[in-house]
Amino acid sequence: MVKKCLFPAAGYGTRFLPATKATPKEMLPILTKPLIQYGVEEALGAGIKTMAIITGRGKRAIEDHFDISYELEHQIQNTGKEPLLAEIRALISQCTFSYTRQVEMKGLGHAILTGETLIGQEPFAVLLADDLCTNSEDNVLSQLIKIYNTYQCSVVAIEEIPFEETHKYGVISGKIIDGNDDIYRVSDMVEKPQPKDAPSTMAIIGRYILTPDIFDILKDTKPGKGGEIQITDALKKQAKKGKVIAYKFKGKRFDCGSVDGFVEATNYFYKQTHKEQK
């Protein structure tokens, strides 16, 4: 059973400076909802109620967001504005949130390792809130959990990307298994390769199910690309033992870590809500 979701949220968000100077990038809103709230909603939609958030200096707004704001709520009580907080209130009442701080920024692998005390020895989900995903049926995390339940090993969500963009992602190679074009047994993975060195154009996006042995592997993983401890390098060690599945998820993903993706997501969600309101 996957019962916990880890949210690495300690990064600086330099691509959104100056907006992220005093505001965590995970709190940037698509319409009226911060990115991390979409992530928590996705986890809850996948049946996960325990949220483990890896924060860092200057990220307190995330904790405040998933808490009651007595003064504000008292002020808007019995006014037309009260319903604006209904969604977040419902979310808070259904989930528990725990936090730990990543004191030094040593990469995504290091952030995940920092979460060991919150996760313990059980399989868990990892959700990178700046990859905003949406699907009309099962959400992407639910899809990954189904794959995990079948194969009982780590699972990464993948998507085909243009050849010239491999340097932005972890890229996998693998073989289709069980006659399903969407499911691969991973044989190799490389963090942000140049196109000429990329083993394929199948890129990992920010959704993972990890088995807890990843923590010990991460403790032994040396800094890789960019001098950082990479989750891709740790996963590669599991992959060499046939213990990683890559799954071409159904749905749409927006790279909200880039201004272009952020604007695209904003337009998409605006059109969606606009349609619903008509």
> Which of 37/232 has CB closer to ligand G1P?
232
56 near ligand G1P (CB under 6 A): no
Give the SS3 label for residue 108: helix
> Which of 56/170 has CB closer to ligand G1P?
170
Residues 218-257 that bind ligand G1P (CB under 6 A): 230, 232, 257
> Which of 171/183 has CB closer to ligand G1P?
171
206 near ligand G1P (CB under 6 A): yes
Least distance in angstroms from the C-beta of 54 to ligand G1P: 13
Least distance in angstroms from the C-beta of 204 to ligand G1P: 4
Least distance in angstroms from the C-beta of 230 to ligand G1P: 6
Q: Which residues contact 232 (CB under 8 A, 6 or more apart)?
A: 109, 170, 189, 190, 191, 204, 224, 225
174 near ligand G1P (CB under 6 A): no
State how beta strands 124-127 and 202-210 pair: antiparallel
Give the CB-nearest residue to ligand G1P.
170
* Spatial distance between the Cα atoms of 113 and 261, rounded to a whole number of angstroms: 28
* Spatial distance between the Cα atoms of 65 and 57, rounded to a whole number of angstroms: 16
* Spatial distance between the Cα atoms of 143 and 157, rounded to a whole number of angstroms: 9
Least distance in angstroms from the C-beta of 128 to ligand G1P: 5
Torsion sign over Cα 106, 161, 130, 186: negative
CA distances from 122 to 31, 37, 76, 244 (A): 35, 24, 41, 16
108 near ligand G1P (CB under 6 A): yes
Applying CB under 6 A, among 169, 247, 254, 269 the residue interacting with ligand G1P is: 169
CA distances from 97 to 73, 92, 118 (A): 20, 8, 10
What x/- string results for residues 185 through 204 when contact with ligand G1P is judged by CB under 6 A? ------x-----------xx
Q: How many residues bind ligand G1P (CB under 6 A)?
A: 13
Angle between helix 140-151 and helix 35-45 axes, rounded to 10 deg: 40
> Which of 116/191 has CB closer to ligand G1P?
191
141 near ligand G1P (CB under 6 A): no
Residues forming contacts to ligand G1P in the complex (CB under 6 A) are 108, 128, 131, 169-170, 191, 203-206, 230, 232, 257
